[in-house]
A = this chain, B = another copy of it.
Amino acid sequence: MSVEFAPLTLEPAYRKVAAAIGARILSRALVEGERLPPETELARQFRVNRSTVREALRELESRGLVQRRAGSKLMSVSRPQQGTVAAGVSHALMLHDVTVRDLWEALTILEPPIAAGAARRRTDADLKCVSAAVEAFAAARGDTEQAVQLSAAVFRCLGEATHNPVLGLAHEPLLRLLGPSLRIMIDEVPQARARIATAHRRLLDALLARDADAAQQWMARHIRDFRKGYEIAGIDLERRVTGVTDPSANPAS
C-alpha cells in the first residue's frame, strides 16, 4: 500500500472563514455587542476576497451569531435570539413530517413540569406576564388569530417563569407548531375557549400561590383537553403539522 493522504480542504474558503469567526464567538473571545471589523478589513486579514467574507457573514448571520444593529451598518456580535433558533427547529420538525400526535405527546411531557417550575420560581414580573396574557385571552372574544397567539403567549410566559433557558428554548418551537391546529380547534369546538380560559385561571392561581403541584395538575389537564378538542374538531392526530403561516411567504411574481 502506498502512503495514505487525507483528502484536504474539501471545505470552501467561505465556510472556513465562517468557522473561524464563529469559533471566536463561541469561545467568547468576541463578546456580545462587540463590533466586527468591516468586510474589507476581514478580507485583508483572512487574505480572501470581500465576496468570500460576505458569504461567510451570511452564514453567521443566519445562525444568529452576528447581527446588524438597527440603523447601523456595522455587524456586531450577538447571541442567537430565541426566535431565530426556534424558527429553525420548527421548520426542521415540519419538514420531518411531525404529526399532531408527536407534537401533542411532547407537550404532554414538557409543559406540566414547566408549569410546576414556573410556580416554584416565578417572580412578580413573570406573574404579570402570565396574567396579562390570560386576561387578554379571556377578552379576545371574536378574534381567533389573537386567541391562538395569546394562548401561546401564556405557555411562553410560563416558560420564561421557570428561569431556565433550556426549557424556554425547548418548548418554543412546539408553540409555533401548535398554532394551526389550535386555530382549527378554537373555531370548531364551541366550548374550547371556555375550557382554555378556565385552565388559564387555575394556572394563574397556582402560580400566585406558588403551588407547583396544582400548576402541574392543571397544565396536564389543559394539555389533555387539547387532545379531546382535536377529536371533537375532527383533527386527525396522524396529520402532519402544517407550516406556520409566515408573513414572508411572498412569492416573487
User: Which of A's residues lie within 8 Å of B, judged by CB?
Assistant: 14, 16, 18-20, 23-27, 32, 45-46, 51, 54-56, 58-59, 61-65, 79-80, 82, 85, 88-89, 91-98, 102-103, 105-106, 108-110, 113-114, 117, 164-167, 169-170, 174, 243, 246, 248-252
Contacts and interface: CB of A to CB of B under 8 A. Distances in A.
A74 to B, nearest CB: 15
Given A169-B89, A248-B19, A252-B20, A95 B80 contact: yes
Chain A residues touching B, majority SS: helix
Contact of A170 (B19, B58, B106): B106
B106 A80 contact: no
16 contacts: A18-B62, A26-B91, A26-B243, A55-B55, A58-B59, A59-B61, A62-B62, A63-B91, A64-B88, A64-B92, A80-B88, A85-B92, A96-B165, A97-B165, A105-B164, A105-B166
Nearest to A23: B249
Given A59-B61, A85-B88, A252 B106 contact: no
A81 B3 CA distance: 34
